[in-house]
Amino acid sequence: MKDFLRMMLMLVMALFLLSCGKQNPFAPATPQQQEDISFTDQKIPLADGEYIYRQGIQIYLTPGSAYSYRISTLSSELPDGIVTDEQGWIYFPVIGDVSGNALTEAGEHRSIWTTQALLSCDFVSQKGRLTNLITNVELRERTSDGNITELSSAFRSDRLISSRIVIPFFNNGATTGTGMEFGLQENIGDIFVEGLYAHHFMYRLNILDSNQQVLSHGDWYSSLENQDMRKVVLNATTTPAIIPNAANQFTQFESYVVSRQGVEEASRNTVYFKAASGNKPTALIYSETLVGLGQYHYTIDTSIYPSLYYEQIPTSGEQKNRHLWLNGTSLEAINSPDFKLHLRWGHKGLYASDNPMSILTNNCFNDSGVSYYSKVVAYDLRLDDAPFPVFSQFFEPAVVTHEDGSSWLRIKNMFDSCRHVVLSNLGNGNHSFEVCAVDLQNVYSLPAQVNINLIPYKPVSQRYGILIVDDSKSNSSYSPEQIVDDFYSAVVPSNWGDVSVFDIYTSTEEIMGVSAPQLQNYQAVLWHSDNPSAGATLSNNIDPLDMYLANGGKLIVSGTSRLLTSFQEISVKAPNFLYDRLGIPNTTSYGAVGTSLTNNPFFIQADALNSLSDINLNTTTSFSSIVNTRKGIGSVTYFNPDAGLNFLYKLGCKAVDSPSYPPTQEQYNLFSSKYVGYQYSHLGSEVVVLGFPLSYMVQSEVNTALQSILGGMLGSKLATGGSK
C-alpha cells in the first residue's frame, strides 16, 4: 500500500511540474533554440503612463498539420482569456463551432489542436513594471498521418534583454594567439521586470571560410561552468578549443544571453578572428621602480624624486627611495640591515609605454611588440635560482616546473600587489631576480632577469687610495683631455695609496655619474671641473656624495665660475646638502669674478693663509693662449668674508697698474677682499672647496698644496686657515 501511495505521489508531482506556468527544474538550463518558432514583442503605451507588453508566438505551418501550445510564465499565472487542459495545453475554438459555449466549458466546441499559426498575449504594467510575461513555449505538431513532434523554446527577445561580446581586438578578422578571454555583458531593455539580468550565456565556436561563411558549427556551452559566468576563457586545451586556423579560414565566437526568468536573447552575437600559433608574452622588470632605501642607499635630490614616486613605495623623511647604481650589466647598492629593495614586474603591453607610471592598458604583446590579443594570467618568479619566496599579497601561489627542469613560484595576475614586492634582509653579494609572464594560451615567456650586487659598507679604516673624478669636459682650448689628465696624475700624491681616475665624460658626452659603492672605497676624492665653457655635473651627483660624506668621506672640489651654477642647482635639489655637506650658509655667500676666461681676467693667484703655500696661475706656459696673453683669468668662484667659512685661500687680484688687462681700483678693492678656498668639517666628513681650476695653476705649487691639504685631511692634522 505504501509503495502504491509513493508511486501516486510521484505521478502527481510530475504532472504538477508539467502543468502550465511551471518550469521543469530537471530540464536543461537552456533549451536549444527551435527555428520553427519565432517570437515578437511590443511595448504599447497607455494613457495613464502604464503600458501593455504584447508577446507573440508564431509557427511556420505545415499543410495538413495541427498544433497545440503550452506556455510557461514568470508568475505561473496565465494571461486572461487563456484556458488549458489539465496538462497545460491551451484550448482553441473548433473551427465552424456555432454553439457559443465558452472555452471554460467542456465540450466538443473546444480543442487543444489548432491550425492557428499565431498566439498573442498581453501583460499590463503596474507602476511601470511587469509582474508577469511568457518565459517558455512548448509546441506539438501532429501531421496528417498522426505522428506527433514536440518542440520547445525559451521566449526570445532583444527588447527584454540583449548582450554584447567584449573582445581585446577592434576589428573582425584580427590575427590572434590561441588563448583569449571573451567578456559577455547583458543589456537591459525598456521593459522593466524584477531581476531581469543575465542568468548565464551560451556560446560556441564555429569555423568560417574566407568569405565568412560557416563551414562548421560547434556545440553550445553554458557559461555557468566557468569561474565567472560573464567571462569565457578559451585556449588549445579547453572545451571548446581554439586551434590555429588553416589558411583562408577564421574562427567565430558566437553567443547569446539567457535571463534569470529563462528568456533568451533573440539575436546571436558573433566575432571572428584568425588564430595563429607561435606567440608568447614578453616579461618585463620595470627599472623605473627598481629602487632601494637604506642607511647607505637613498636620494635627497627632490628633482628626481617625483620620477621615482610610486604609491606603493614608502619614503623615510628627507631620504627617499633611489635607483640602484649601474655597474656594467649589474645593479648595485651598499647593503645595510635596514635596506629594502622594491621590485616591480609586468609584461609588454601592460602599460601604455612599458612604464608602470603610465596608463594601465592591459594589452599583451609578443617580443616584436605586436598584440596577439591574449592576456597574462600569471607570473613565474625566481630569486637566486630558486622559487621566489611567498608573500602574503600573492594570489594562489604554487611551485611549477619549466621544461628545462627549473622550479618557479607561479602567482595569479589578479591585483597590482601581485606585481610588486619589497625585499628585506638580503645578504651581501650577488642576487638574481627572474620573471616569466604566463598568458591565456598557458605559454610562458622567456625570463626577464636583473642582477643585483649588494656590497657591504666599508668603514673609513678600510678605505684606501685617492680617487680623481674628472668632471672636465674635453676642449682643445679650455681643457685638453690628455694635458689635464697628465696634470692631475702628476699633482695628486700617492702617499695614501693608489690614485685612480673616474671620467664623467667619454670624449665630450656625459656617460654616467659616480656611484656611492665606488666612492666608499677611497680615503679621499678630488673632484675637478676645469672647463670654464662647460657646466659641472656636481649637482647631478649629490646622492653619492651625500652618502660618502655622511660616512666620514674626504672631498676636494676644484672648479671655475661654473661652480655658481652647481651651487644654485644644489640649493634647489637638496638645500640641506649645500650647508650640511659643503658648509655654505646661503646662496649669497658666493659669486664670480667673471663669466669666462676673458671676462674680468683679474685672478692671478690663490694667496695661502697660515701654514699653506700660495698657488700661482700659470701665465707663461699654460695650454690656454688666453691665459698666456691676458696674464689672468676671470672664470673663478669667490666666497664672501661674511660667509663665516674656515678660509684657506684669499683671491689674489692683479694690481691696478698691471700692464695686462688691469682692474679698476673699485674692482681691485672688491675682488681682493674675497676668498677662493675654504675648508669645512662636519660629523667626521671634511671638504675643501677651491673656486679656481687647478690645471690652470703652476703644477709644482698645486702638488705642494695637495700634499698639505690631504695631509691635514688624512694625517694627524687638518689644514688650518686663518687671516692673511
**pLDDT band, very low/low/confident/very high, at 63 (cuts 50, 70, 90):** confident
The pLDDT of residue 12 is 33
C-alpha cell at 464: 684606501
Dist CA 623 CA 484 (whole Å): 9
The pLDDT of residue 310 is 65
pLDDT digit string, tens, across residues 89-117: 999 999 888 888 999 999 999 999 999 88
**pLDDT band, very low/low/confident/very high, at 513 (cuts 50, 70, 90):** confident
User: Which residue in the block uniquely carries the three cell numbers 564555429?
Assistant: 206
User: Which residue in the block uniquely carries the three cell numbers 538550463?
Assistant: 29
The pLDDT of residue 317 is 79
Dist CA 133 CA 76 (whole Å): 9
C-alpha cell at 679: 675648508
pLDDT digit string, tens, across residues 545-604: 999 999 999 999 999 999 999 999 999 999 899 999 999 999 999 999 999 999 999 999
- Rounded mean pLDDT of 364-375? 96
pLDDT digit string, tens, across residues 419-446: 999 999 999 999 999 999 999 999 999 9
Nearest to residue 447, comparing CAs of 519, 383, 380?
380
- Tell me the pairing of strands 269-275 and 174-176: parallel
- Please state, rounded to an integer, the average pLDDT across all residues of the chain: 91
The pLDDT of residue 14 is 34
- Rounded mean pLDDT of 602-614? 95
Strand extents, DSSP E, 654-702: 675-682, 685-690
CA distances from 209 to 174, 205, 423 (A): 15, 13, 53
Query: 389: cis peptide before it, omega within 30°?
Result: no
Asked if pLDDT for residue 718 goes beyond 50, the answer is no
Is 382:286 a contact under the CB 8 Å cutoff? no
The pLDDT of residue 457 is 98
The pLDDT of residue 13 is 32
- Report the share of the chain in percent with pLDDT over 70: 93
**E strand or H helix at 484:** helix 481-491
Runs of H (alpha helix) within 278-434: 305-308
User: Which residues neighbour 405 within 8 Å (Cβ) at sequence distance 6 or greater?
Assistant: none
pLDDT digit string, tens, across residues 379-389: 999 999 999 99
- Report the share of the chain in percent with pLDDT over 90: 84
Asked if pLDDT for residue 524 goes beyond 70, the answer is yes
Asked if pLDDT for residue 613 goes beyond 60, the answer is yes
- Rounded mean pLDDT of 311-323? 81
Q: Which is higher by pLDDT, 232 or 357?
A: 232
Torsion of CA 687, 689, 694, 696, to 10 degrees: 180
Asked if pLDDT for residue 32 goes beyond 60, the answer is no
Asked if pLDDT for residue 292 goes beyond 70, the answer is yes
Number of neighbours of residue 127 by Cβ within 10 angstroms: 8
- Rounded mean pLDDT of 467-493? 95
Number of neighbours of residue 487 by Cβ within 10 angstroms: 22
The pLDDT of residue 507 is 60
Torsion of CA 513, 295, 524, 324, to 10 degrees: -20
Dist CA 670 CA 653 (whole Å): 10
User: Which residues neighbour 712 within 8 Å (Cβ) at sequence distance 6 or greater?
Assistant: 679, 718, 719, 720
Q: Which domains does the chain have, with CATH numbers?
A: 2-154 (no CATH), 161-275 (2.60.40.3760), 283-455 (2.60.40.10), 460-592+639-649+675-714 (3.40.50)
Asked if pLDDT for residue 504 goes beyond 50, the answer is yes
- Rounded mean pLDDT of 349-371? 94
Dist CA 102 CA 104 (whole Å): 5
Dist CA 624 CA 598 (whole Å): 11
**DSSP secondary structure letter of residue 541:** G
pLDDT digit string, tens, across residues 623-662: 999 999 999 999 999 999 999 999 999 999 999 999 999 9
What would you measure as the largest C-alpha separation in the chain, in angstroms? 142
Is 336:295 a contact under the CB 8 Å cutoff? yes
Q: Is pTM, for the whole model, over 0.85?
A: no
Asked if pLDDT for residue 491 goes beyond 50, the answer is yes
Number of neighbours of residue 637 by Cβ within 10 angstroms: 25
**pLDDT band, very low/low/confident/very high, at 509 (cuts 50, 70, 90):** low
The pLDDT of residue 123 is 95
